[in-house]
A and B are shown apart, each in its own frame.
Chain A
Amino acid sequence: MAFRNSEGLKMKANPRDVRTGTYYMDGDIAAGYGALAAGCRFIGGYPITPSTEAAESFARIAPQSGAVFVQMEDELASVASIMGASWSGVKTMTITSGPGYSLMMEAIGLGAMMEAPFVILNIQRGGPSTGVPTKTGQADMMQSRWGSHGDYEVIAISPDSPQELFDFMIKAFNLAEKYRCPVMVMSDECVGHMSEKVVVPPAEEIELEPRRIYTGPKEEYLPFKPDQDLVPKMVKAGDGYNLYVSGASHDERGYPIIYQKGKNQSDSTARRLVDKIRLNADKIIELHEEKLDDAEVVVVSYGITSRVAVRGIELARKKGIKVGKLRLVTVWPFPDQRISELAAKVKAFVVPEINYGQVVYDVERCSHGEANVVLVPHGGAGVHDPEDILEAIEYAATEKKKIRKVIIRKTRLEKKVFGGGLK
């Protein structure tokens, strides 16, 4: 994906921000490096296992680049402060995990409403509630899409390696600037705490999306007047534009419509907020596909699970099953169309997730009854046993009937814990 803003301007990363080199580092630290390379100037954060290393790595390297890490009093403050910083003209993000993410829910709606570009890095852990803080999970996926009240759309991307945590931070900032919406990097403890080779490229190889800055006459500026692609242009606070930016439903001037006369005043705010993502979905969505040409069974996965699935796919291929891999790099917006196309072609989808079924329901929805959908669940605090995925693939390849529900596999773990599985 080439990152160009609406004027076709290209921007490179600032060499001061890029610690070029080859490292052996964990995903969290790579994320901190990635954020700085992307030009992030402000992180308001709050420590939470297993995401703290990302904040720590940023705090160590930020001051030399004129960026700042401030540890706020709680997650509510963290996310509110980055929205303020975003409107003051800098790139911002916050870093958290499940419980902190839950606290940010109200502000995510505010971010969507104010169309402040910002990034949230969520290193998921086992939930619900405090759950298993030190171990992995993928159970915040639906929350990232639906967690705040009212209608809005976000972009969520899911990296599967420390290298991708670096790369995806840059991608996330670019998407945030381009679509002016909250962008979630939904990683997990496993990727966050996994140490691997991370290559930080030279600055000139990193392309950044510049902010969509308004350049016309001051008096004509309307903060929420959308461009062709439904995304409005932005200015900085303090530049004399006499901004009125509100979290209440507003018109193009930003004025709340609640106090305006006339009950039938149409409330188009939320409509545009969802449309700007839905109608641009094709441009946003990125998928990694492997061996799909002849596939009868497709394994749909994201994040760390897509790496575990590789083993299951290899084993199945060895047994002669035609199985392909579809990795959701972008989880939200969901690739409805691609899944729908595949459903018409293949027998079944196998969806391993480290949760008890979240994204699988969207796969089911988009397959329109044309392909079976098999879920390989995992409660968290660990990753799948590839054998479970293999068995699910084998089952999916042999099942002849069209089954109108998500077929939930009993995993080895479940059988072990509940002696044959839950009833």
Chain B
Amino acid sequence: MKTNTPAILTGTHTLSGNEACIEGAFAAGCRFLAAYPIMPALETIDRYLQRSSEVDATFIQMEDEISALAAVIGASWTGKKSMTITSGPGLSNMMEHLGLSVMLETPCVIIDVQRAGPSIGIPNRPGQGDVMQARWGSHGDYELIVLSPSSPQEMFDFTIKAFNFSEKYRSPVLIMADEYVAHQKGEVKIQPANKIKIEPRKYFKGEKDKYLPFKRDKNFVPRMVDIGENYKFHVTGLTHDDRGYPVMTEKCQEYNVHPLLWKILNDRDEIAEFKESNTDDAEIVIISYGASSNTAQKAMKQARELGIKVGSLKLDTVWPFPDKKITELAEKVKTLIVPEINYGQIVLEVERCSYGQANVVFVSHGETEIDNPDNLISIIKQSQKEKQVKKGIIEYRNETRRG
């Protein structure tokens, strides 16, 4: 399946992360956006509106973020690829419907341009404080896919990837960008339409009266139909059987919810993508994602120039977490350094997966350090002094310079 050409601006452009995200969405076939404006994601809606008449896409500004995600889920069932865009406070409001989209197995994409939190925080500064929230923020058990772009180009690529994942696994997919990436201008290469791989929706093709909305295939993914095709299906947020009818038993809960997790976990090695550099001979590996990976790259280069064997692992996919890769690295290297624009979230996962095999050093950094790796370099040097493996997360607190 290929998308229509007018939606895809093949060529090289200078775009901000926010704009690139919208181009990615159009390229992926997104035709419905429901949102509530919020800093620092405002430019996305601007761009979407500018281009919406060219690509015949619909926009509705809802009264709040709760209804925005509800409308997106509804729209997705009409057959349109749908998404919503928000930032931290909005994502918090969406938590209930994140659960609904998991339960209804509705493909949709949520773009979260993170800002400094908690609560209102600092609307115009970047943060990475919503990463754990993305995984755990709604009640009940679920697994979902979270991608974290670090540049406008990735913002474009990952948005397409997000739509593909959401269709493949019939699951909400989150993109955790941040204010820095969203407002950063950069070169974005857009491939011709025939080079962009688009995952088609998994439609049911059998007889109409045989359709069961939650009958799973061998990968635990059920087939979908659109509203208005005379399938007369029923779906519910209650625990349900294959027909989508509520059944309030322990057995049905197991039958319904357990595969929801495994449809993602089964493919976790495929989904969990990362970029590795210089890890072969490394003694220290910086594990980063999103805007922080820009800092990490710079620090790695400078450290190598100083003769320190530093490698880098950039997580493209944050959830599901690449457990195995981290364990593998921990067994090989002395120290894992995790810089994040928060006060310790993914570092907990790194600590978990390192099984006491390597020192885990956490660096809480601010936006000024995205361009300036000095602090990270000094922490690399400090961490070299550790003689043996310490339990727990090491944080060199004298160097807290958030801002």
A–B contact at 8 Å CB threshold (below): yes
The residues of A with any CB-CB pair to B shorter than 8 Å are: 76, 98-99, 101-103, 105-106, 108-110, 112-114, 124, 126-135, 137, 139-140, 142-143, 145-152, 246-249, 256-258, 263-268, 270-271, 273-274, 336, 340, 355-358, 361-362, 364-365, 368-370, 379-382, 404-405, 413-414, 416-418, 422-423
Bound Cα distance A416, B255 (Å): 10
Q: Is B118 an interface residue (CB 8 A)?
A: yes
- Say which residue of B92, B140, B348 sits within 8 Å of A106 (CB atoms): B92
B251 touches A380 (CB 8 A): no
A368 touches B116 (CB 8 A): no
A127 touches B141 (CB 8 A): yes
Chain B residues with Cβ below 8 Å from A149 are 88-89, 91-92, 114, 117-118, 129-130, 133
A101 touches B139 (CB 8 A): yes
CB-based nearest A residue for B389 = A368
Bound Cα distance A149, B176 (Å): 12
Bound Cα distance A131, B354 (Å): 35
Chain B residues with Cβ below 8 Å from A267 are 116, 122, 125, 366, 402-403
- Say which residue of B135, B266, B392 sits within 8 Å of A336 (CB atoms): B392
Q: Which 7 A-B pairs have the closest CB atoms?
A: A150-B117, A127-B140, A369-B355, A128-B140, A150-B118, A149-B88, A368-B356
Chain A residues with Cβ below 8 Å from B237 are 129-131
Chain A residues with Cβ below 8 Å from B276 are none
Q: Which of A355, A368, A413, A414 has the most CB of B within 10 A?
A: A368
10 contacts between A and B (CB under 8 A): A126-B239, A129-B96, A140-B140, A147-B95, A149-B92, A149-B117, A151-B342, A265-B403, A270-B129, A379-B250
B136 touches A106 (CB 8 A): no
B141 touches A148 (CB 8 A): no
CB distance from A80 to the nearest CB of B (A): 12
Q: Which of B116, B124, B130, B262 has the most CB of A within 10 A?
A: B116
Bound Cα distance A140, B142 (Å): 11
B355 touches A413 (CB 8 A): no
CB-based nearest B residue for A130 = B237
CB distance from B5 to the nearest CB of A (A): 38
Chain B residues with Cβ below 8 Å from A137 are 140
Supposing A113-B119, A340-B391, A381-B253 touch, asked if A151 and B140 sit within 8 A by C-beta, the answer is: no
- Say which residue of A127, A132, A268, A379 sits within 8 Å of B139 (CB atoms): A127
B254 touches A258 (CB 8 A): no
Bound Cα distance A266, B352 (Å): 30
Q: Is B127 an interface residue (CB 8 A)?
A: yes
CB-based nearest A residue for B364 = A271
Bound Cα distance A223, B257 (Å): 46
Chain A residues with Cβ below 8 Å from B99 are 99, 102, 127-129
B391 touches A379 (CB 8 A): no
Beyond A105-B93, A380-B253, A381-B252, list 14 extra A-B contacts (CB 8 Å).
A105-B133, A106-B92, A108-B92, A128-B257, A131-B103, A131-B257, A132-B238, A149-B88, A258-B123, A266-B401, A270-B121, A358-B141, A369-B357, A379-B141
CB-based nearest B residue for A344 = B391
CB distance from B15 to the nearest CB of A (A): 25
A-B contact count (CB 8 A): 277
Supposing A130-B236, A139-B139 touch, asked if A379 and B117 sit within 8 A by C-beta, the answer is: no
Chain B residues with Cβ below 8 Å from A369 are 354-357
Bound Cα distance A357, B127 (Å): 27
Bound Cα distance A189, B45 (Å): 42
CB-based nearest A residue for B260 = A128
Supposing A249-B116, A380-B257, A404-B355 touch, asked if A135 and B250 sit within 8 A by C-beta, the answer is: yes
B95 touches A417 (CB 8 A): no
A143 touches B136 (CB 8 A): yes
CB-based nearest A residue for B129 = A150
Supposing A113-B119, A149-B118 touch, asked if A268 and B402 sit within 8 A by C-beta, the answer is: yes
A142 touches B92 (CB 8 A): no
Supposing A126-B253, A381-B249, A422-B262 touch, asked if A105 and B95 sit within 8 A by C-beta, the answer is: yes
Bound Cα distance A336, B392 (Å): 8
Contact with A along B341-377 (1 / 0, CB 8 A): 0111100110110111100000010101000000000
Q: Is B327 an interface residue (CB 8 A)?
A: yes
Chain A residues with Cβ below 8 Å from B266 are 423
Chain A residues with Cβ below 8 Å from B28 are none
A112 touches B119 (CB 8 A): yes
Chain A residues with Cβ below 8 Å from B208 are none
Contact with A along B386-401 (1 / 0, CB 8 A): 0000011000000011
A128 touches B392 (CB 8 A): no
Chain A residues with Cβ below 8 Å from B98 are 102
Chain A residues with Cβ below 8 Å from B357 are 369
Contact with A along B78-105 (1 / 0, CB 8 A): 0000000000110111011011101110
Supposing A102-B137, A249-B122 touch, asked if A151 and B401 sit within 8 A by C-beta, the answer is: no
Bound Cα distance A135, B247 (Å): 12
- Say which residue of B129, B239, B391 sits within 8 Å of A368 (CB atoms): B391
B129 touches A139 (CB 8 A): no
Q: Is B42 an interface residue (CB 8 A)?
A: no
Supposing A149-B133, A151-B129, A247-B120 touch, asked if A129 and B403 sit within 8 A by C-beta, the answer is: no
Bound Cα distance A265, B400 (Å): 13
Chain B residues with Cβ below 8 Å from A140 are 139-140
CB-based nearest B residue for A421 = B258
Chain B residues with Cβ below 8 Å from A417 are 251, 254-255, 258
Q: Is B259 an interface residue (CB 8 A)?
A: yes
Bound Cα distance A295, B366 (Å): 45
Supposing A151-B342, A270-B343 touch, asked if A113 and B118 sit within 8 A by C-beta, the answer is: yes
Chain B residues with Cβ below 8 Å from A404 are 327, 355
Q: Is B66 an interface residue (CB 8 A)?
A: yes
Chain B residues with Cβ below 8 Å from A148 are 92, 117-119, 133, 137
Chain B residues with Cβ below 8 Å from A124 are 139
Bound Cα distance A260, B250 (Å): 55
A105 touches B253 (CB 8 A): no
Bound Cα distance A292, B28 (Å): 56
Bound Cα distance A393, B328 (Å): 28
CB distance from B387 to the nearest CB of A (A): 17
Bound Cα distance A108, B140 (Å): 18
Chain B residues with Cβ below 8 Å from A263 are 368, 403
CB distance from A127 to the nearest CB of B (A): 2
Q: Which of B102, B139, B237, B255 has the most CB of A within 10 A?
A: B139
Q: Is B62 an interface residue (CB 8 A)?
A: no
CB distance from A361 to the nearest CB of B (A): 6
Q: Is B138 an interface residue (CB 8 A)?
A: yes
